[in-house]
Structure 1
Amino acid sequence: MLLFCPTCGNILHVESGVANYRFACNTCPYIFNISQRITSRTYPKLKEVDDVLGGSAAWENVDATDERCPKCSHSRAYFMQIQTRSADEPMTTFYRCCNPQCSHNWRD
C-alpha cells in the first residue's frame, strides 16, 4: 500500500515510532501514526486452458488425428501445436476430443 504526503506529495515510508509504527515523510515533518494493522490479499484468477489457447475460435480450423480421449475413450481428437517454451524445446501438442458431448482438452 502506497501513501503519499498530503503536504508535499512525496511517498511516505514506514518507520518505527516511540510505541508503534508510523508513516513519515522524508522531506517535511508530516507523520501519520498507524493505529491498526491492515492486511489484504488478492489472488489472481487463473485462466482456463481454452482461454490461454485463444478461446473456442482457435479450434475452428484444426486437423484431427487418431488420438484416444482419456475422458470418454473416443478414438479421434483435434490437435494444434504451440511453442510454449523456449525455441530449443519441442512444441507442445494440445488436443480436444472430437466427441461434441465431451470436448475434453488435454496436452501431450
Structure 2
Amino acid sequence: MEFCPMCGSMLMLELQSPTRFYCKTCPYVCRIERGVKLKRKQLLVRKGIEPIVSFDDMKNAPTADVPCPNCRHDKSAYKEVQTRSADEPATIFYACLNEKCKHRWNE
C-alpha cells in the first residue's frame, strides 16, 4: 500500500501501459519501472490469545451451585470481571470443579 507524498491519500494502481500509481485527490503520478515486482499476497501471522481468567485465578475463587454444562457436576468456581464499559454488566467466568472435566465457560 502506497500513500501520496503530497496529500497523504492512498494511491491507486493503474495497470495500463505504463503501469503507475496515481492519486485521486491531487495530480500526483508515480510511474512504476519494469524491475519492480508487485506483491499481491501478504501472509498474516495469528497471535496467540491469552485467557482473561487463568486456572490460577480460579484456584482461590468462590464456589457456586451452578452445574457444569459439560459434565453436569453441581459445583463450579466463579470470578466476576468487568470486561466491557462501565454501563454494561460484568462478565462471570466459571470453571468446573470436577478434576476430570475442568471445563470453562462464561456468561
TM class by shorter chain equals 0.5 to 0.7
**Is contact 1:78-1:97 (8 Å) kept?**
yes
Aligned counterpart for 1:38 among listed residues 21, 37, 40: 40
When the two structures are superposed, what TM-score results if normalisation uses the length of structure 2? 0.65
| Paired AA for residue 100 in structure 1 | E
List runs of 5+ in structure 2 lacking aligned partners.
3-10, 23-27
1:76 aligns with 2:75: yes
Deviations 1:70-96 (A, max 9, x none): 000000000000111110111111100
Q: Which ranges of 4 or more aligned residues in structure 1 deviate by more than 3 Å? A: 13-18, 20-24, 29-37
CA shift in 2, pair 1:37/1:20, >3 Å: farther
Deviations 1:2-55 (A, max 9, x none): 6xxxxxxxxxx665375253469x8xx9954444543124153462xxx32243
**Is contact 2:18-2:32 (8 Å) kept?**
no
**Is contact 1:23-1:32 (8 Å) kept?**
no
List runs of 5+ in structure 1 lacking aligned partners.
3-12
- How is 1:9-20 mapped onto 2 (pairs within 5 angstroms)? 15-16=13-14, 19=17
Which of 57-66 and 91-100 deviates more? Answer: 57-66
Aligned positions, number: 95
